[in-house]
């Protein structure tokens, strides 16, 4: 019988693509676990409404006759969190919700559990490898790190085959949030004071991330591994903007302003963290995923950008 995969967060930017690709390959049946019943589900998948993802969510129906779980549901990183205790809010979904699902999955005899973590487990700036000590700098990264640690304990206790994937910024068809805002600014010809930045940033195209997830579902060497992933080509912020403009057939309007001045201005506006991501460098070494899974990025940065722009 064709194995069934449970995908959580199935209506999100990444989840929609994962479900669609699983169905397109024809190797799996797909079940999508949903908070509520929306309209943009992948054709051919069955659905189970589980409600909010917390430490009390009942996953029994969703996990019935499932052989693997791709856990994408999470409380996403937000630039301005108005909650009194952001870490506590992130922990409800990202830690308690994740570990509750993993425990129920192990009890149900699920073989493999794919967890989408984040490069933010390592921090905000630097060059990272999987073995580097975690140093999360915000509540979102802390919650992902805590979830990873809890999942490893569950896997050790139960034999659940765990795979952890830590992507940097993900972009592609249907991208939202800051990347979409940047695309719109470039398309409108807004002058951007980012021409003086000399950084290097790793990104991962949606197609490449989905491919790593699917390979991790079936590759025997993926068990109990943690992988950093990217497109294998790091770009500067000005270069990214120029490539976006080229894909749109317009001209990049870049103004050279000192990164120090940008950070100072952003601090006054309460946007220092967002500015640090624009001016700072964050690079990941993907040697391990290349070696262990014999994996290479399927699409280039330019192809990923064209696909992102096409959905603007």
Note the pLDDT tens digit of each residue in 145-190: 999 999 999 999 999 999 999 999 999 999 998 899 999 999 999 9
**What average pLDDT does the segment 102-117 reach?**
98
Q: Which of 140, 179, 227, 295 is labelled catalytic?
A: 140
Q: Does domain 4-166 have CATH number 3.90.1560.10?
A: no
Would residue 140 show up in a list of annotated catalytic residues for this protein? yes
Q: Which residues of 164-180 are buried (b: 16+ CB within 10 A; e: fewer)?
A: bbbbbbbbbbbbeeebb
Which candidate, 76, 133, 70, 143, places its Cα nearest to that of 101? 70
Which candidate, 242, 167, 245, places its Cα nearest to that of 204? 167
Note the pTM of the prediction, 2 decimals: 0.94
* Ranges of each domain in the chain: 4-166, 177-199+235-279
How far apart CA 182 and CA 199 sit, in angstroms, is 17
* pLDDT tens-digit readout, 215-259: 999 999 999 999 999 999 999 999 999 999 999 999 999 999 988
How far apart CA 111 and CA 163 sit, in angstroms, is 11
How far apart CA 84 and CA 146 sit, in angstroms, is 20
Report CA torsion sign: 237, 238, 239, 245.
Answer: positive
How far apart CA 201 and CA 301 sit, in angstroms, is 12
Token pair in block for residue 12: 């999100």
């Amino acid at each position: 019988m064709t194995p069934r995969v449970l995908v959580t967060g199935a209506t999100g930017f990444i989840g929609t693509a994962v479900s669609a690709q699983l169905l397109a390959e024809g190797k799996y049946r797909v079940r999508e676990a949903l908070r509520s019943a929306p309209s943009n589900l992948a054709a051919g998948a069955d659905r189970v409404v589980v409600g909010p993802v917390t430490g009390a969510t009942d996953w029994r129906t969703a996990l019935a006759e499932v052989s693997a779980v791709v856990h994408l549901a999470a409380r996403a990183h937000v630039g301005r969190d108005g909650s009194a205790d952001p870490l506590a809010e992130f922990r409800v979904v990202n830690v308690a919700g994740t570990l509750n699902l993993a425990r129920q999955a192990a009890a149900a005899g699920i073989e493999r559990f794919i967890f989408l973590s984040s490069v933010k487990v390592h921090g905000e700036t630097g060059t990272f490898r999987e073995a580097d000590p975690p140093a999360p700098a915000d509540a979102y990264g802390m919650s992902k790190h805590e979830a990873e640690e809890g999942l490893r304990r569950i896997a050790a206790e139960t034999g659940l085959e765990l795979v952890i994937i830590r992507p940097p910024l993900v972009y592609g068809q249907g991208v939202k949030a800051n990347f979409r805002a940047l695309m719109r600014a470039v398309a409108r010809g807004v002058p951007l004071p980012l021409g003086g930045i000399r950084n290097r940033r790793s990104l991962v195209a949606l197609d490449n991330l989905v491919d790593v997830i699917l390979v991790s579902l079936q590759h025997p060497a993926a068990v109990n591994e943690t992988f950093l992933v990217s497109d294998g080509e790091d770009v500067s912020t000005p270069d990214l903007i120029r490539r976006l403009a080229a894909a749109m057939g317009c001209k990049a309007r870049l103004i050279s302003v000192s990164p120090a001045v940008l950070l100072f201005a952003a601090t006054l506006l309460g946007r220092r963290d967002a500015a640090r991501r624009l001016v700072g460098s964050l690079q990941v070494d993907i040697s391990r995923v290349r070696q262990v899974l014999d994996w290479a990025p399927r699409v280039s940065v330019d192809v990923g950008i064209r696909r992102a722009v096409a959905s603007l």
